[in-house]
Amino acid sequence: MIDIKQDEKLSVINHSCAHMMAQAVKRLYPQTKFWVGPVVSEGFYYDMDLGDAVIRDEDLEKIEKEMKKIAKDGKRIVREELSKADALALFHDDPYKLDLIEGLEDGEITVYRQGEFVDLCRGPHVESVKQLKHFKLLKHSGAYWKGDANNRVLQRVYGICFESKEALEEHLYALEEAKKRDHKKLGKEMELFMMSEYAPGMPFLLPNGMIIRNILEQFWYEEHTKEHYQFIKTPIMMSRELWEVSGHWDNYKENMYTSEVDDREFAIKPMNCPGSMLVYKNGLHSYKDLPIRMGELGQVHRHEASGALNGLFRVRTFTQDDAHIFMRPDQIESEVVGVIRLIDRIYSIFGLQYDIELSTRPKEKYIGSIEIWDRSEKALADACKAAGKDYKINEGDGAFYGPKLDIHIKDSLGRVWQCGTIQLDMNLPERFDLTYVDHDGKKVRPVMLHRVVFGSVERFIGILIEHYAGKFPLWLAPQQVAVVPVHWEKHIDYANEVQNLLSAAGFRSKLDARNEKLGYRIREAQIRKVPLQVVVGDGECENRSVTLRRLGSKDSLNMPLDEFMELLQREVEEKR
């Protein structure tokens, strides 16, 4: 799905449509006062104070009807420049606009007028409201004024607008499809994970979800072993002194969970990096030892605001698939190329396309010399080219301690997720006094690379649930096969033989011999999103065969049992 903020033309259309919505609301609720109506990735919204009135679901259609009248009327949208005094006079009865105007300087104040409606705004806007015919109001909610819980709750209405009816319909279809794929809904239906008020924002993985997690982690270890990574496990809680050295105590403490043990302050780790620094410092290193690729599936805890929590996507504890690579300066390009190729290989297994964004030196707050930054940015850019990958520049968005490559994956609905990251770090090697002995016998600083592929294992599972709509490929599915005998008395012995053979070979299979009709049991296996249903009846028993039906298909295929076993083994090994 499209990101409205990334499209300049759609951003203007949606901001103009926010004004048109506000005009419609003002007509229907004349007492309304308005705060702000920005463009967001999903379209637009407007925060409004309707006094004692409350917008409900059924009111959105009423507002849309008024918006259509406004668009049909076709008034021009006119820009006007005002002095601060004139602006204060114009909005004298709207405390929210007066608050905004107080922060503006003379010569910077503009309003946009369409018919009887005028709104404080920098713009730009479309020329006429008749360009805003293809819109939809999506939802409404409450929002504190200025995001402060001590302030009044305003009513927020969300919407979206496109240039054509076809584009709007295509987007609305994608939204409906996204609702069906909601990982929270499917996670409950498929018994993958649960949440509890006893641990807000901390997911409980259920047996089916744990199967997926274990397979993903095994896959992660196998792929990283091929690339000669070493694996470590560092403590989940470490002392305040460590976090002071790393800088987290001064810059991140409000997001950390702390405790006191034996009169010392400790913190549960929000990041794995400091532990890896200690592991590196545990021994002496020569230039011949580098690169050292150190991987850790480390559980971290971060205090997120309760209102931001969202299933597996935004949590307070998760497993980061971290790795830290310690290397010489001359190894930067080759190591980054290696990470890109590893990411490429892993994402391709899941059918995930991706784009790369190179974030460069911030304009103000950064450490290290400009020369080092230029060299580091060039190394990342050259690595992308050497790996045969295009990239976009995200000017000035690097961390203060180094440039980075952000990997944005695209799922089956076209939605973009930021998962992988490759980050050069000039900060922690200095803070922790990391060294290696170069060929001249001198101690020098290694270059350090942070990188993740999944990002958060839990979040990646959530993305995969929605990417596959719960229909996991055979190698990942919690239950791979449902064995369904036609009749209990006649076919149960052979069905048990098939089930035992599957279990002995390591396949996740279940026998469904309940006293229910065959069609009912097959449908139920499909509802549970089991990839393969195996039916055994008279012919299968006589010929030692199975009739195979795949999830989502009405066709069936009969094949010898031994061929079926070979087919399963091949599909799992090839991760189709």
Q: Is 408 a catalytic residue?
A: no
Residue ranges of alpha helices (H) inside 359-487 are 370-386, 428-431, 457-468
Residue 320 appears among annotated catalytic residues: yes
Confirm whether 302 is a catalytic residue. yes
Catalytic residue among 134, 171, 316, 324: 324
**292-301 β-sheet, strand order:** 230-231, 292-301, 317-327, 447-456, 416-425, 404-410, 353-359, 392-394
- Local structure of residue 474 (DSSP, 8 states): T
Q: Does the annotation count 324 as an active-site position?
A: yes
C-beta of residue 448 within 8 angstroms of C-beta of residue 429:
yes
Catalytic, out of 49, 119, 322, 425: 322
Asked if residue 245 lies in contact with residue 431, where contact means CB atoms within 8 angstroms, the answer is yes
| Residue 103: Cβ within 10 Å count | 7
In the set 161, 273, 419, 541, the catalytic residue is 273
Are the CB atoms for 417 and 411 separated by under 8 Å?
A: yes
User: Is-catalytic flag, 134?
Assistant: no
Q: Are strands 509-511 and 481-485 parallel, antiparallel or unpaired?
A: parallel
Phi first, then psi: what are they for 271, rounded to 5°?
-145, 155
Given the residues 213, 301, 450, 451, the one annotated as active site: 450
Q: Under 8 Å CB-to-CB from 181, ≥6 apart: which residues?
A: 413, 465, 466, 469, 470
User: Which entry of 183, 316, 389, 404 is annotated as an active-site residue?
Assistant: 404
Q: Of 114, 155, 320, 480, which residue is the catalytic one?
A: 320
Establish whether 541 is a catalytic residue.
no
322 is catalytic: yes
Partnered with residue 532 across adjacent β-strands are: 481, 550
Q: Considering the candidates 133, 183, 213, 302, report the single residue annotated as catalytic.
A: 302
Cα distances (angstroms) measured from residue 470 to each of 38, 63, 275, 395, 551: 34, 36, 36, 37, 11
The H or E element containing residue 223 is helix 207-226
Based on DSSP, count helices (H) and strands (E) in the chain, helices before strands.
18, 28
Q: Which of 348, 573, 357, 347 is nearest to 460 (CA)?
A: 347
Whether the CB-CB separation of 149 and 169 falls below 8 Å is answered with: no
**Cross-strand partners of 405:** 358, 422
Token pair, residue 477, equals 């599915």
- DSSP single-letter state for residue 115: T
Using DSSP, state whether 57 is helix, strand or coil. helix
- For the annotated catalytic residues, the residue numbers are 273, 302, 320, 322, 324, 404, 450
